[in-house]
A and B are shown apart, each in its own frame.
Chain A
């Protein structure tokens, strides 16, 4: 029997639309191709592909300064690469950048051998970036909570996408 996705891309995009997202600044990760196909079909979203993830935080901050509402969509490995942009632009300039971060290596089933997963949450805590975890469609409203949190705190907020749309952690 085919696996059913626990977190559907449709639910994520519905949250983007609900929050008035105008631009998605992204670098694809290995599990999210469905998501990109749907985003391309959604003409309310302007997609901005980047060459390296650190650019995405600065581009999103520029979009906010120009009056738009972006979301960043990257993998945790790229989030780790983006540290100086998160520090020097999103945190220091008080920019409400919401980042959806594919949680590569995350699992509910015992220890993970993937250092990308092991470093993700400790790094966010060290950077003082609040974060939420989403795995199921029922969790999708946490994306709205992240936008509210970012606006309230004038700073970056991460949403960790624990199951990367495939349901392989069931």
Chain B
């Protein structure tokens, strides 16, 4: 059983806190994505998990063993972890098979066992025919697969993946995403996947940890992150969310009635939501639409219309709050002139809980 318990982990660089009291519990066999804008501290978290850095506060526990603390640090070579590096880090002076079998060689496996297991690992990623090639002869996607196989052959209890798709072409990414899912099912290893790309994280992970400026802001299933963001940052970061201010929050069963630009709407809210004079509301683009004739909406002035093929993206300024720009998707066949005034309906929203 290798679950990962991270306790109040902090790391400073030159007086700056790059990780601040991060705590999470990752279950054995879970696929976790760590998501955040660049410079948020997610790579530091990976390096702490791997053992390349020591924490200034807090601990990391792998299984029942504390591997990182201020006092003692189990070195990376003794942690039984695997890493897939962003640039693959294949050793250029070794063949593909030697790369994959290196951890076994270090562990003192017999050469027969080594060959067998590296061939098996290469077979999992469909690369068994290229075992004798040099890494420099491979394409980007092939190198990525070799890096995965290298990780697999070592049978690590935890696999760390550091933006593994960042250096690949867009069309290769989709194929590799499938590869990762299959790979996770095959190995059952606990996987921690670092990325700044939310669609990647959404597609792959059981749960996503969103990190912002060194702090863990939310750790939830993709669906909950999207539908029930716990902070404005998450609401904006996930799925191009939009945030607006609403008045007069009145909890109502498992929802709440709020006043959006003077008109009452029923939106989702957490059960413990209190009566408040104002709150911030998370609204996704898909939850906004042009009002049907006769339907009651709020007014907006069209700023710009961008043709996107299957829909038109309409950017507009809210008439009641002229500094607020929102975006909705309109059917591509509806002509909307710029500077026109439109009526907008909101069909779904989520009251962002008041900050603790």
A and B held together in a complex: no
Residue numbers of A with Cβ under 8 A of B are none
Residue numbers of B with Cβ under 8 A of A are none
